Amino acid sequence: MSLPDPSPVLNLIDAFRHSKTMFAATALGIFDRLHEKPATAAELAEAVSADSGATERLLDACAALRLVRKEDNIFHNEPVASACLISASPQSMRGYILYSDRVLYPVWGNLADGIREGSPRWKQTFGLEGGIFDAFFRSDEAMHEFLRGMHGFGMLSSPRVVEAFDLSSYRMLVDLGGATGHLAIAACTRYPELRATVFDLPRVAEVARAHAAKSPVNERIGVVEGDFFRDPLPAADLYAVGRIFHDWDDQTVVTLARKIHATLPENGALLVADKLLNEDGVGPLPANMQSLNMLVVTEGKERSLSQFERLLREAGFARVQGKRTGAPLDAVLAVKITV
């Protein structure tokens, strides 16, 4: 009897090594240095105060991963590194990569305990009291780093999310927990008659103002400080929640959705940006991985369209549609209709 192909298992054994190679190179500033100018391993090692031989091994591994290329022993960033891994890029995911390295990687080390107990691993991993978002924003540097990383993901997803449905009939969008305002910017860019407000905590609102000011649609974007659980919501005929519902359990989602529904006018809508699971719960793989991520870091999970529909109808919405976008986040639109 012949053995099955062991590649799936072998690939998974190596998978964390691939991630940590990119994480380490990012944390050391390798890609930023190569953005300044191509360099040899010895030059880079000196620049980042690292061992020359070890740095060459790291760079060779990055070349094998197609993040850099090696020509006559001189290393250059590949285009994907220049777009996603350097600090200066508008599409940079560097902040989220550093967060993944310093926060998610150790938290995932306790995944088995999370499965046994069905609860987050934040306190077990770091010994910190309070919610995960308190820890995210424990300092201005940590907050800005996290938001920069989320902005990179938003630049990939938000244009696809706002074009998933025809939103041209709406005139005022409020993005709840809108962070850097990437969805508001994408929506106003797509729909010339739309105005938008980013509604987020005071410290985050400062970041949103800075990003909105740089946008070509800045005159149509405002920023309001507040907590969407505690404070009245700014008036709108379209609300958006991006990567918000997956942080919370079902009852909390229904509570927030009811608040949104009560504030909306007739025919107003709620746009949800999250990963959609298949109806049987198996796949797409990024949604399964994110759902496990939510297990170890929050009270939430990823959901299928039918699960979203059940929660949103319980909150009062009469029509719920979903679409896959081909981007890291999918789109769900719930409309308030009196029936």
Compute the distance between CA of residue 55 and CA of residue 37 in angstroms, rounded to an integer: 17
Instruction: Tell me, yes or no, whether 304 lies in a domain.
Output: yes
Compute the distance between CA of residue 66 and CA of residue 84 in angstroms, rounded to an integer: 13
Domain of 40 in residue numbering reads as 7-84
218 and 319 share a domain?
yes
The per-residue pLDDT for 339 is 65
Compute the distance between CA of residue 73 and CA of residue 255 in angstroms, rounded to an integer: 58
Per-residue DSSP letters for 69-112? EEETTEEEE-HHHHHHTSTT-TT--HHHHHHIIIIIHHHHTTHH
75 and 160 share a domain?
no
Compute the distance between CA of residue 327 and CA of residue 221 in angstroms, rounded to an integer: 24
User: Of the candidates 3, 1, 48, 52, which has an alpha carbon nearest to the alpha carbon of residue 28?
Assistant: 48
Q: Which of 84, 104, 139 is the last residue of a domain?
A: 84
Compute the distance between CA of residue 327 and CA of residue 211 in angstroms, rounded to an integer: 22
Instruction: Tell me, yes or no, whether 11 lies in a domain.
Output: yes
Which residues are known catalytic residues? 246
80 and 168 share a domain?
no
The per-residue pLDDT for 133 is 60
Sorted by sequence, the CB contacts under 8 Å of residue 67 that are 6+ apart come out as 22, 25, 31, 77, 78, 80, 81, 85
What is this structure's pTM? 0.93
73 and 173 share a domain?
no
pLDDT tens digits in sequence order for the chain, 339 residues long = 788 999 999 999 999 999 999 999 999 999 999 999 999 999 999 999 999 999 999 999 999 999 999 999 999 999 999 999 999 998 899 988 998 999 899 999 999 999 999 999 988 998 876 656 665 566 777 777 778 778 888 888 999 999 999 999 999 999 999 999 999 999 999 999 999 999 999 989 988 999 889 999 999 999 999 999 999 999 999 999 999 999 999 999 999 999 999 999 999 999 999 999 999 999 999 999 999 999 999 999 999 999 999 999 999 999 999 999 999 999 999 999 976
Half-sphere exposure of 68 (CA within 13 A, CB side): 32
Instruction: Tell me, yes or no, whether 259 lies in a domain.
Output: yes
The per-residue pLDDT for 132 is 60
Compute the distance between CA of residue 258 and CA of residue 251 in angstroms, rounded to an integer: 10
The per-residue pLDDT for 150 is 80
Sorted by sequence, the CB contacts under 8 Å of residue 45 that are 6+ apart come out as 51, 52, 54, 55, 56
Compute the distance between CA of residue 237 and CA of residue 266 in angstroms, rounded to an integer: 8
Instruction: Tell me, yes or no, whether 201 lies in a domain.
Output: yes
Instruction: Tell me, yes or no, whether 203 lies in a domain.
Output: yes
Q: Which of 38, 65, 84 is the last residue of a domain?
A: 84
193 and 322 share a domain?
yes
**CATH number of 71's domain:** 1.10.10.10
168 and 316 share a domain?
yes
Q: How many domains does the chain have?
A: 2
55 and 196 share a domain?
no
Chain Cα centroid distance, residue 213: 22
Instruction: Tell me, yes or no, whether 144 lies in a domain.
Output: no
49 and 176 share a domain?
no
The per-residue pLDDT for 148 is 77
Q: Classify residue 40 by its DSSP letter.
A: -
Compute the distance between CA of residue 262 and CA of residue 256 in angstroms, rounded to an integer: 10
SS3 of 6, please?
A: coil
220 and 76 share a domain?
no
211 and 328 share a domain?
yes
Instruction: Say if residues 215 and 190 touch (Cβ distance below 8 Å).
Output: no
Instruction: Tell me, yes or no, whether 239 lies in a domain.
Output: yes
**CATH number of 201's domain:** 3.40.50.150
Instruction: Say if residues 333 and 321 touch (Cβ distance below 8 Å).
Output: yes
159 and 65 share a domain?
no
Per-residue DSSP letters for 277-332? EPTTS---HHHHHHHHHHHHHSS---EEHHHHHHHHHHTT-SEEEEE--SSSSEEE
Instruction: Tell me, yes or no, whether 145 lies in a domain.
Output: no
Task: Order the strands of the 269-274 sheet from edge to edge.
Answer: 221-225, 195-200, 172-176, 238-242, 269-274, 330-335, 319-323
Q: Which of 22, 56, 84 is the last residue of a domain?
A: 84
Q: Report how far apart, in Å, the C-alpha atoms of 291 and of each of 19, 100, 235, 309 are.
A: 19, 15, 32, 18
302 and 207 share a domain?
yes
SS3 of 178, please?
A: coil
Q: Report how far apart, in Å, the C-alpha atoms of 234 and of each of 54, 218, 316, 335 are.
A: 54, 18, 19, 18
